[in-house]
């Protein structure tokens, strides 16, 4: 059998004494890089870091951007005016507070926010959350209700600013998309049902749970009124038609943004012409801009903390998710932490001008993007439209029917019912579908806060379960190569008698060491049945751990490796480790695991480890045959194994070993320690 010479690459072992200084070196290099970066920053770089708006102001292309920004900002402003009033009613507030929330926060976000297309203002989910928590504390007709909504805005803004400054945006990554989709779907259903009272013509209980709402709707059915139902249904049908045409036909995309304004015009015109007594109107709305005032009602701040956390989480998920998607489409980088700070600043300063919690709106941001918005100037234009509405149009708003505002809310949340996502998850991932279902059901039947907590809890439980039960693969050699891959993924890959090669596909830490050890014990027994090549031996002598995917180990993993080594040693099994990364190898060196296992049993490649182990397996077989039956098999095996492990550098006739055809003892004196065989090819 032909052979070719190849050098077994020696793994470079770090000096254990340098481990402690290595961490310091890494820290010092990090500080040096930071210092160099700060030195390179110009005055304009510093200004842009604190005021992101300067980035687009400095490079603004007036001829290219001005027209599209004006168009987009005006369109979103026309859309926001009726939406803001609708969402304020959903939050249990007077419509004027929706207009206030769509005014000052927009300008603040343009200065401190990093997204150029997102539209800040009232949103359906945050409005429902405000209504849900404040309704349990005080009646919505009480002045304290409004004060608490403004205090809640301040608290949300402070929390968002703190998270942005401490760069804690990564915490939101632990909430899976399935949880968000399930929560949003259930919330949309609750929001839609909560607006039914404006269609039906009678009051229903305010709740974030579906059962009390449905009971209230059924119990008051005798008070049903046809006029608001007919008007609301017609307006809702028109809104949905305009939205569908705007999405499906590019030349009619303006219809999507004009829908809310059309609803207001139709409703107001009908009310002015026919004066229906059974249809409730918005009523008197104060004219003028909001005045500066310090939020009150801090004595109830403690009871608002849970809702502050939930609103912040929902706001971040909605805003940052939308902002990242739009930034990618428009070709610029988005800083999530700067985005958090921008949202926080908008809420903090907005609370001093009577705003309730605001966040990025999916529908308005989509319209802003579709209309070609290029910079934050579009947001400034939207703010100017809101300013004009507050100064000149509030007398007209008095005649808007509440059923028209309810139709706007229902039309907006219908698109949030993400049943297509549920179908996709059922088809692709049952675990994610289960998570979606749990979140949706708990949100519907137990309320928004409980739904979020349970959804996030299950999401984290799944993460912990996956981390504590990592994927572990048994590797085999692909025919014709020196590549080793998962034998379940590549059935043609073959393994060797006496050797099991295992790849651990995760960091190793205290939570998963027991699972890994149990799986290794199983492989020692089960995998031996799969071996098809090499010398015929009766059991496993070597366990090769492929550690290239292991990015981190802790002291629990170190202790587990020590225990595993001693356990294997008692059964005359040797551990070999392949391709540990630098940090893992440093940890093993510092903890003494390298010396315990033996430096000679650390390899750069899996193939190097297999070559060496294969030589020893052949010698064990030969010496066992030569030893005769004078001593017991256990004693012979133990002495042979110990003596052979001292001869790590010698080779054998590897071509015959790998093909499993070597039935005669090898001439070790003439073997080349650097030779590597060509693979045995089947005819």
Residue 495 in contact with residue 478, Cβ under 8 Å? no
Residue 542 in contact with residue 576, Cβ under 8 Å? yes
Instruction: Summarize the confidence of residues 219-241 as an average pLDDT.
Output: 91
Pairing of strands 675-677, 602-603: unpaired
Sequence ranges of the domains in the chain = 64-464, 469-623
Instruction: Summarize the confidence of residues 475-484 as an average pLDDT.
Output: 90
Token readout for 97 is 């507070």
Give me the pLDDT at residue 363, please: 80
Sorting pLDDT into bands at 50, 70 and 90, what band is 316? confident
Give me the pLDDT at residue 14, please: 67
Q: Which residues pair with 675 in a beta bridge?
A: 5
Token readout for 452 is 């979020």
Average pLDDT in the chain? 82
Of residues 150 and 321, the one with the higher pLDDT is 150
Give me the pLDDT at residue 273, please: 84
Give me the pLDDT at residue 300, please: 84
Most confident of 28-37, 413-422, 581-590, 643-652: 581-590
Sorting pLDDT into bands at 50, 70 and 90, what band is 108? very high
Give me the pLDDT at residue 445, please: 92
Residue 316 in contact with residue 357, Cβ under 8 Å? no
pLDDT tens figures, 536-572 = 777 888 999 999 999 999 999 999 999 999 999 888 8
Residue 94 Cα distances to 9, 87, 232, 284, angstroms:
75, 10, 20, 10
pLDDT tens figures, 579-616 = 998 889 999 998 889 989 988 899 999 999 998 888 88
Q: 35-39, 77-81, 244-248, 299-303: which range is least confident on average?
A: 35-39
Q: How much of the chain, in percent, has pLDDT values that exceed 90?
A: 29
CA atoms within 13 A on the CB side of 353: 22
Give me the pLDDT at residue 274, please: 80
Give me the pLDDT at residue 645, please: 56
Give φ, ψ of 108 to 5 degrees: -65, -40
Residue 113 in contact with residue 120, Cβ under 8 Å? yes
Give me the pLDDT at residue 635, please: 52
Instruction: Summarize the confidence of residues 138-161 as an average pLDDT.
Output: 91
Residue 81 is given by DSSP the state: H
Token pair 């005359």 is found at 572
Residue 636, helix vs strand vs coil: helix
Give me the pLDDT at residue 15, please: 62
Residue 207, helix vs strand vs coil: coil
Q: How much of the chain, in percent, has pLDDT values that exceed 70?
A: 84
Of residues 43 and 463, the one with the higher pLDDT is 463
**CA-CA distance, 361 to 232, in Å (whole number)?**
23
Give me the pLDDT at residue 219, please: 92
Instruction: Summarize the confidence of residues 214-225 as an average pLDDT.
Output: 90
Closest CA to 113 of 476, 360, 306: 360
CATH ID of 469-623, from 3.40.50.2000, 3.40.50.720, 3.30.750.24, 3.20.20.70: 3.30.750.24
Sorting pLDDT into bands at 50, 70 and 90, what band is 6? very low
pLDDT at 89 over 60: yes
Of residues 5 and 176, the one with the higher pLDDT is 176
Neighbouring residues of 217: CB distance < 8 A, sequence distance ≥ 6: 193, 196, 200, 204
Q: What is the pTM of this model?
A: 0.74
Instruction: Summarize the confidence of residues 305-309 as an average pLDDT.
Output: 87
Give me the pLDDT at residue 683, please: 31
Of residues 291 and 619, the one with the higher pLDDT is 291
pLDDT tens figures, 323-361 = 877 887 777 777 788 888 999 999 999 999 999 999 988
Q: 173-187, 357-371, 468-482, 614-628: which range is least confident on average?
A: 614-628
Residue 575 in contact with residue 545, Cβ under 8 Å? yes
Give me the pLDDT at residue 530, please: 54
pLDDT at 177 over 70: yes
Most confident of 86-90, 272-276, 409-413, 447-451: 86-90
Give me the pLDDT at residue 661, please: 42
Sorting pLDDT into bands at 50, 70 and 90, what band is 681? very low
pLDDT at 618 over 60: yes
Identify the H or E element spanning 309.
helix 301-330
Q: 145-149, 220-224, 310-314, 512-516: which range is least confident on average?
A: 310-314
Give me the pLDDT at residue 640, please: 52
Give me the pLDDT at residue 674, please: 37
Instruction: Summarize the confidence of residues 176-184 as an average pLDDT.
Output: 83
pLDDT tens figures, 360-393 = 888 888 888 887 888 889 999 999 999 999 999 8
């Amino acid at each position: 059998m032909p052979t070719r010479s190849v050098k077994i690459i020696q793994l470079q072992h770090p000096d254990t004494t340098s481990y402690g200084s290595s961490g310091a070196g890494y820290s010092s290099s990090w500080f040096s890089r930071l210092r160099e970066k700060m030195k390179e920053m110009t005055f304009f770089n510093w200004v842009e870091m604190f005021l992101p708006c300067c980035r687009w102001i400095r490079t603004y292309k007036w001829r290219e951007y001005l027209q599209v920004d004006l168009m987009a900002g005006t369109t979103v402003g026309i859309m926001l005016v009726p939406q803001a009033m609708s969402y304020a009613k959903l939050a249990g507030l007077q419509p004027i507070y929706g207009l206030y929330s769509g005014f000052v926060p927009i300008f603040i976000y343009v200065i401190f926010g990093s997204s150029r297309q997102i539209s800040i203002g009232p949103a359906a989910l945050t409005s429902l959350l405000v209504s849900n928590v404040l309704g349990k504390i005080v009646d919505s007709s009480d002045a304290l209700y409004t004060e608490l909504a403004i205090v809640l805005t301040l608290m949300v803004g402070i929390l968002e600013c703190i998270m942005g400054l401490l760069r804690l945006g990564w915490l939101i990554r632990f909430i899976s998309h399935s949880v968000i989709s399930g929560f949003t779907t259930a919330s949309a259903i609750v929001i839609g049902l909560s607006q039914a009272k404006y269609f039906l013509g009678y009051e229903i209980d305010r709740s974030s749970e579906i059962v009390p709402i449905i009971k209230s709707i059924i119990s008051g059915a005798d008070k049903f009124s046809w006029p608001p139902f007919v008007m609301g249904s017609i307006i809702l049908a028109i809104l949905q038609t305009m939205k569908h045409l705007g999405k499906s036909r590019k030349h009619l995309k303006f219809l999507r943004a004009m829908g809310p304004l059309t609803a207001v015009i139709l409703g107001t015109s009908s009310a002015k012409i026919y004066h229906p007594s059974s249809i409730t109107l918005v009523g008197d709305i104060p004219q003028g801009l909001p005045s500066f005032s310090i939020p009150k009602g801090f004595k109830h701040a403690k009871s608002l903390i849970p809702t502050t956390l939930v609103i912040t989480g929902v706001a971040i998920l909605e805003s940052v998710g939308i902002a990242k998607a739009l930034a990618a489409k428009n070709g610029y980088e988005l800083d999530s932490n700067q985005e958090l700070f921008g949202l926080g600043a908008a809420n903090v300063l907005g609370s001093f001008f009577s705003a309730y919690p605001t966040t990025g709106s999916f529908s308005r941001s989509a319209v802003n993007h579709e209309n070609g918005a290029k910079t934050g100037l579009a947001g400034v234009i939207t703010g100017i439209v809101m300013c004009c509405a507050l100064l000149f149009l509030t007398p007209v708003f008095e005649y808007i029917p509440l059923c028209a505002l309810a139709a706007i809310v229902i039309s907006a949340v219908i698109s949030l019912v993400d049943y297509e996502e549920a179908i996709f998850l059922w088809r692709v991932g049952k675990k994610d579908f289960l998570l979606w279902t749990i979140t949706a059901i708990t949100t519907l039947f137990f309320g928004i806060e409980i739904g979020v907590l349970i959804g996030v809890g299950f999401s984290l439980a799944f993460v912990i379960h996956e981390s504590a039960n990592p994927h572990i693969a048994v590797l085999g050699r692909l025919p014709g190569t020196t590549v080793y891959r998962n034998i379940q993924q590549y059935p043609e890959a073959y393994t060797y008698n006496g050797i099991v090669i295992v790849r651990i596909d995760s960091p190793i830490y205290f939570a998963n060491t027991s699972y890994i050890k149990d799986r290794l014990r199983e492989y020692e027994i089960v995998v031996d049945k799969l071996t098809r090549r090499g010398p015929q031996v009766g059991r496993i002598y070597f366990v090769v751990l492929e550690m290239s995917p292991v990015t981190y180990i802790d002291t629990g993993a170190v202790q587990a490796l020590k225990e595993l080594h001693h356990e294997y040693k008692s059964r005359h099994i040797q551990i070999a480790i392949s391709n540990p990364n630098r940090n893992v190898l440093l940890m093993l060196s510092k903890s003494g695991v390298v010396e315990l296992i033996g430096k000679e049993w650390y390899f750069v490649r899996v193939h190097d480890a297999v070559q060496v182990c294969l030589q020893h397996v052949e010698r064990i077989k030969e010496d066992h045959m030569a030893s005769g039956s004078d001593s017991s098999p256990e004693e012979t095996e133990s002495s042979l194994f110990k003596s052979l492990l001292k001869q790590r550098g010698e080779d054998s006739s590897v071509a015959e070993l790998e093909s499993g055809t070597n039935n005669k003892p090898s001439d070790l004196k003439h073997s080349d320690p650097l030779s590597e065989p060509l693979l045995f090819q089947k005819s």
